[in-house]
């Protein structure tokens, strides 16, 4: 993952599923968890889930903060924020009070930004051609 990786250091990450590993079941956790492998099942937490570029999650995700760089086949519901990186892919609905989507992110489903003053942020890459100055 790119930009968001710098927010969390190794001491903060409580669990890690490495690329090439696969897990079936239900995941409940506190703290920060990073997935780079395949996960089959539902994920529930009040804290932060990082889904790496090589990760595939097949199940529903209910967390405080989700940073998605891999693939999710299921619904994503967050209490605070969902960030979908340019490599992120979701087949399912996304419900969050704050939704950040990077250019290139793919979402196939319904997006719900729910709160009194919803915040949707779309991050675009700088264009290769700058507009001519007058």
Condensed to tens digits (0 to 9), the pLDDT of residues 54-64 reads 999 999 999 99
* Model confidence pLDDT, tens digit, residues 122-131: 677 765 555 5
| Per-residue model confidence as pLDDT tens digits over 71-90 | 999 999 999 999 999 999 99
For residue 131, being part of any structural domain is answered with no
Does residue 105 form part of some domain?
A: yes
How many domains does the chain divide into? 1
**Residue that has been written with the tokens 């001519």 in this structure:** 132
| Percentage of the chain exceeding pLDDT 70 | 75
Q: Does position 7 have pLDDT exceeding 90, yes or no?
A: no
User: Does residue 14 sit within a domain?
Assistant: yes
Q: Which two tokens stand for residue 103?
A: 């250019």
Q: How much is the average pLDDT of 6-35?
A: 77
The DSSP output letter for 87 is T
Q: Is the pLDDT of residue 134 over 60?
A: no
pLDDT(10) > 60: no
C-alpha 43, offset from chain centre: 12
Instruction: Indicate yes or no: pTM above 0.85.
Output: no
Residue 132 belongs to some domain of the structure: no
Q: Are 1 and 16 in contact (CB under 8 A)?
A: no
Model confidence at 14: pLDDT above 90: no
What is the per-residue pLDDT for 124? 72
Contact 19, 35 (CB under 8 A): no
H or E stretch at 43 = strand 43-45
Judge whether 126 lies within some domain: no
Q: List phi, psi (to 5°) of 64.
A: -70, -50
In this predicted structure, what is the pLDDT of residue 1?
Answer: 40
Residue 110 sits in which domain range? 3-121
Does residue 127 lie within any of the structural domains? no
Distances (CA, A) of 57 to 99, 112, 130, 133: 19, 20, 39, 46
């Amino acid at each position: 993952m790119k930009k968001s990786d710098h927010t969390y250091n190794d001491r903060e990450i409580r669990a890690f599923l490495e690329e090439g590993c696969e897990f079936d079941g239900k995941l409940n956790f506190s703290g920060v968890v990073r997935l780079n492998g395949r996960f089959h099942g539902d994920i529930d937490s009040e804290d932060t889930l990082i889904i790496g570029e090589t990760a595939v999650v097949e199940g529903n995700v209910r967390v405080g903060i989700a940073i998605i760089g891999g693939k999710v086949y299921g619904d994503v519901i967050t209490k605070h924020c969902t960030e979908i990186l340019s490599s992120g892919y979701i087949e399912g609905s996304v419900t969050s009070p704050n939704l950040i989507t990077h250019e290139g992110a793919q979402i196939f489903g319904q997006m719900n930004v729910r709160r009194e003053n919803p915040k949707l942020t779309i991050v675009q890459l700088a264009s290769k051609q700058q507009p001519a100055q007058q």
